[in-house]
Structure 1
Amino acid sequence: MNEAYFLDSRLRMEAEGYQLGPDGKPGMIPDPNPDPAKRNPKGLFHRNGGLVAMRRVELAEDNRMFRIASSKDLKWGGLPNLLNSPWWMEEDRMRLLLDRARTAGVRLSEMARRQLALPVAEGWTDADIIVSVHIRRGIVIAAHAGPGRTAAAGDDLRIIAPEAPHLFMDQLYVPGLGKPGGDRAKGMANASAWFDTGTAKSFDPAARGFNPA
């Protein structure tokens, strides 16, 4: 259903963590190399978060999808509004995340920040609500998949070790959700068309049973 979005190079760049401007072009930052002879005078493309080691996966009705979100976004349209994001996990990854939180003895929301590279600072996520939903029957959607990249916001740095991606959590970027081409209304329409909204549920990650006693 979203093949055209999947092939959109701008959305792929967004999935890879490139910071895009209103014109759709990636922003630049100064090259931090201390050696002037090796420093690129034009700077470097600005990347923050996103995915590495990406591959294509196809998702259908037998996939229950999960994402970590901010409950404050409920005020913009209730639970359906939280479905309109490109960032998701499959159920097996959600179970793995929960298992790792219990094993480490840390709260589920904190393990999500560690494993998914989710800074606390505004503009990322409060990580105070879990959303789940099934894909509609007969719908197949493509997604970019892979472990997250290190992300930073303010003084909060969430490091994903590149030498050990198997220790971390696969994430999914579903092109066509969110604000494709800056059009949030289009993303909302796609979320309604691709997800079975009647199966949408939300959970409190601080609830008993999700966290160590």
Structure 2
Amino acid sequence: MAAANERWWANSFLRMEAEGYQYDRGRGDWAKIEDPNPDPLKRNPRGLFARNGGLMVKRRLVLAQDNVMYRFAALAYARRGVWTKAERLAPLLNSPWWMEEDRMFLLLSRARQAGVGLVEMARRQLALPQEWTDADVIVRVRIRPGILLAAHAGPGLTAEGGGERRVIAPEAPHLLIDQLYVPGLGRHPALGSAGAGNAAAWFDAGTAVAFDPNIRGLNP
């Protein structure tokens, strides 16, 4: 059975986003930086694609209904007003960045062992600068029965935003936590406006739950 997002899996632009390449929405193209090579003869005069965050893609992972999905999100993006729970949480489901349940429990365990808050440990282990996300809500959801989703899986890469640098240390591979990028979700220009519809079709919104990562039971 083919994955429901197979067409998006094959999209090279979405693979680039998974690997941390930055798209400049203002210019309508991929952001570039000057080639930092100290040897001018080896320097690319056209520059290099800018990278910030993303994954060190290690493998393809196929997800199904038995995979409970988690992500840290910003509550500000949830719908306000008179909405059902599913409608309120729908915008928080439309993101390609997720974790499996075992990784979520590992993150919680490490936060307790280190004696730091769960959000702080998430910022350290998942490379989440404050400028990128408030990380003030955790969303949990199941994939719809009969749906298979292909994801890029691997540890995160160092990310910087607003002068804050969150470093994923390659010298400590035993501390890395795999993250997931699910092609077909989000707001990348390569998707057009398909992301929200894909999230509604692939996730069982009736199972979606949002909870505060700062509650006492989740923190030292």
**Counterpart mapping for 1:92-131 below 5 A:** 92-121=102-131, 124-131=132-139
After superposition, residues 1-213 of structure 1 pair within 5 angstroms as 1-22=4-25, 25-75=29-79, 78-121=88-131, 124-181=132-189, 183=191, 185-212=193-220
Q: Which one-letter code corresponds to 2:13 in the other structure?
A: R
- CA distance in structure 2 between the aligned counterparts of 1:115 and 1:188, rounded to whole angstroms: 27
Secondary structure at 1:187's aligned position in 2? helix
Tell me if structure 2 keeps the 8 A contact 1:147–1:165: no
User: Could you tell me how far 1:35 is from its partner in structure 2?
Assistant: 3.9
SS in 1 for 2:169: coil
What residue identity is the alignment partner of 1:105? Answer: G
Gaps of 5+ in 2: 81-86
Residue-by-residue CA offset, 1:36-59 (whole Å, 9 max, x unaligned): 344333222100000004210000
2 CA distance for matches of 1:53 and 1:86? 14
Distance 1:208 1:199, change over 3 A: same
State the TM-score, normalized to the length of structure 2: 0.89
- Once residues 169 and 91 of structure 1 are traced to their aligned partners in structure 2, the CA distance between those partners, rounded to angstroms, is 12
- Contact 2:184–2:191 under 8 Å retained in 1: no
CA-to-aligned-CA distance 1:107-150 (integer Å, 9 cap, x gap): 000000000000012xx100110000000001101000000010
Task: Work out the CA distance in 1 between the residues paired with 2:185 and 2:175.
Answer: 27
Greater alpha carbon shift after TM alignment, 16-25 vs 82-91: 16-25
Segments of structure 1 that go 5 or more residues without pairing to the other structure are none
Separation in 2, partners of 1:8, 1:166: 31
The residue type paired with residue 70 of structure 2 is F
Write the letter of the residue equivalent to 2:216.
R
RMSD across aligned positions (CA): 1.8
In structure 2, what is the Cα distance between the partners aligned to 1:193 and 1:171? 22
CA distance in 2 between partners of 1:162 and 1:26 (Å):
26
How far has the Cα of 1:180 moved from its partner? 4.4
Number of equivalences: 210
